[in-house]
A and B are shown apart, each in its own frame.
Chain A
Amino acid sequence: MSRHDVVAADRETISKPPTRFDQFVDRTFRGSTVAFAWLTILLVVLIVLQIAEKALPAVRHYGFSLITSTTWDSNRGQYGILPEIWGTLYSSILGLMIGTAFGVAIAIFLSQDFLPPKVELVCKNIIELLAAIPSVVYGLWGIFVVIPLLRPPANWLHEHLGQIPLFGTALSGPGMLPAALVLGIMILPTISAISRDALVSVPHKLKEAALGLGATRWETILGVVVPTASTGIFGSMVLGFGRALGETMALAMLVGNSNELSVSLFSPGNTLAALLANHFPEAGGAEVQVLMYAALVLLVITLLVNCLGAAILTKASARFSGITK
């Protein structure tokens, strides 16, 4: 091979040093990925600032009295969101209790070798499909299936045990219990999926050691597996709670939209998100500002809960890194 050939071959090689243009493109592309990453952080800041800014006039005008007052009368310009704050927390806690009981039970049943792996996977996918149904469809289902189903037993409880505050009113239609039940169904997949991840990541050694000592299957689960995964399970509950607080449509359709502050499971109520959804389309001027105030309150509550949940889960996933599998 002559020297000439070698030079010619060199000119046609596939690999060559990047040209000026390549380097320019490279720098621009890398710069834009960094920019978009930063934009995500900016977006969260912008959301908070934007909502806070729109709420500012109402915050100045009403101050804390809006949070502690219970009347909502747009004709007289009197607003109060205490019943909504109470309804948001009450329905979410009830929903969380239902969602946790079922979610954790399902997570255990679908992670501790009760079923053949294939059946387990199918069941897991079916439970996850619960999360795919849009919330407005759950609302429709709640109106036509859950409420008629709950009304007879609820009214029986009210008639016979009416002196207990929990059953203090009759269920005439929409109310706290149907709303909380549907809420529980909606957050169940979140809780069961994250709890299951936590349970699956418990090192096998721990389980085998417990079984080897003669513990029964459930003694192992309750004594070793669940306590080890408890941080993850708790994180899933916090995130589920966050979902429940912000859930809008199903509640707007089922909770009854009445400005009431009651501990009764069957009384209609309202939540912050449902208040926004129901009043916003027809609201004008001052009422919009008050609704923005309500949005700000909801934002603060959910941001706190979600940050807490994300932090707990980050801690939980770091926990097993020391134990070799």
Chain B
Amino acid sequence: MSTHQALRDPFEGIDLPRLEKSIYSPRAAFSSALSVLTGAMTLVAMLPLASVLAMLIWRGGRRLSLALFTETPPSAFSAGGGFGNAILGTLVMVGIAALISVPFGILAAMFLAEFGPNSKTASAVRFCAKVLTGFPSILAGVFAYALVVLMTGSFSAPAGGVALSLLMLPTVMLTAEEAIRMVPAKMREAAIGMGCTPTQLAWRVILPTAVPGILTGVMLAVARAAGETAPLIFTALFSNDWLYSHGRLNLMEPTASLAVLIYNFSGMPFDNQIELAWSASLVLVLIVLVLNIGGQIFSKRSIKL
């Protein structure tokens, strides 16, 4: 008898609110509606990417041929042509930019992460690097114009490289700092215990361990620099010739690049030029995407201890 009483529903006779979630209650309906709305917005935000890629493949893919990579841009009314010199120009300028910004960025990052992580200098440097991250690319062009073009007296590939290096620097520096910080303290302590000087520690232990992380940053920075147009208008302009033509190297002359070619040709009223602009966009986006995906692969390979 007593057992029976214990088993009785303890809430019998008490008026309880409904505990199950019902879609008809205003609170639950509101919640579901917002879930659907944000999900839809996420999908809508992916549409531009899909549309850009579709257009690139559809309009840019049509003209894709070997001639594009070996010929120079056509003049106004002529047909055919390519943008081999622009691809080469982009590669040369991004190369110059990487030669400047990678050592600079890694050395500064070494200070930020190893030699003075908590110093006032370090926080000031970090702040400057963050400000440079959001620095308008066109102003990097204006700066390189004032610094290099006015000094050397001509638009040139090195001037373009300087402008691009300014845009790569913060990315390289901040990701390298992050990568160096990720090196496990155990390895550091082991090296110091063996009597390494801080420099030996940096070169033989920290840098080799941090290389995948640093490479990620470098690849992302290169990808960004390859797509930049605005700084090149101020520094490299454009040229219809190869960097090496008429038997000499025209390093200190205006230099072509893919991005400026797309900009110049997009505003022209000729179908041939517009088709070339689309093909150049396809090539440029492919380069950028490959670098981005490569960077992500490296970041996955970086150490997690």
Binding site for B on A (CB under 8 A): 14-18, 22-23, 25-26, 29-30, 32-34, 36-41, 43-44, 46-47, 50-51, 53-54, 101-102, 105-106, 108-110, 114, 123, 125-127, 129-130, 132-141, 143-145, 185, 188, 192, 216-219, 239, 242-243, 245-249, 252-253, 273, 276-277, 280-281, 292, 295, 298-299, 302-303, 305-307, 309-310, 314
Q: How many A-B residue pairs have CB under 8 A?
A: 255
Q: List 16 A-B contacts (CB under 8 A).
A: A34-B116, A43-B128, A46-B143, A47-B143, A50-B147, A102-B44, A106-B38, A114-B35, A114-B39, A129-B289, A133-B52, A136-B263, A248-B229, A248-B230, A249-B259, A295-B138
B262 at the interface (CB under 8 A from A): yes
Known: A292-B142, A302-B135, A306-B134. A139 touches B263 (CB 8 A): yes
Question: In the complex, are the beta carbons of B122 and A140 less than 8 A apart?
Answer: no
Tell me, in angstroms, the Cα distance from A134 to B200 when the chains sit together: 40
Per the CB 8 Å criterion, the residue count for chain B at the interface is 84
B210 at the interface (CB under 8 A from A): no
B198 at the interface (CB under 8 A from A): yes
- Cβ contacts B112-135/A at 8 Å (1 or 0 each): 101110000110110111111011
B187 at the interface (CB under 8 A from A): no
B111 at the interface (CB under 8 A from A): yes
Question: In the complex, are the beta carbons of B166 and A137 less than 8 A apart?
Answer: no
Question: Which of B4-12, B24-32, B62-70, B79-87 lies at the interface?
Answer: B24-32
Question: In the complex, are the beta carbons of A26 and B198 less than 8 A apart?
Answer: yes
Question: In the complex, are the beta carbons of B134 and A309 less than 8 A apart?
Answer: yes
Tell me, in angstroms, the Cα distance from A36 to B132 when the chains sit together: 15
Tell me, in angstroms, the Cα distance from A138 to B79 when the chains sit together: 26
A248 neighbours in B (Cβ, 8 Å): 136-138, 229-230
Question: Which of B91-99, B242-250, B280-288 lies at the interface?
Answer: B280-288
Question: In the complex, are the beta carbons of B31 and A134 less than 8 A apart?
Answer: no
A133 neighbours in B (Cβ, 8 Å): 49, 52, 227, 285, 288
- Cβ contacts B44-68/A at 8 Å (1 or 0 each): 1110110110011001000000000
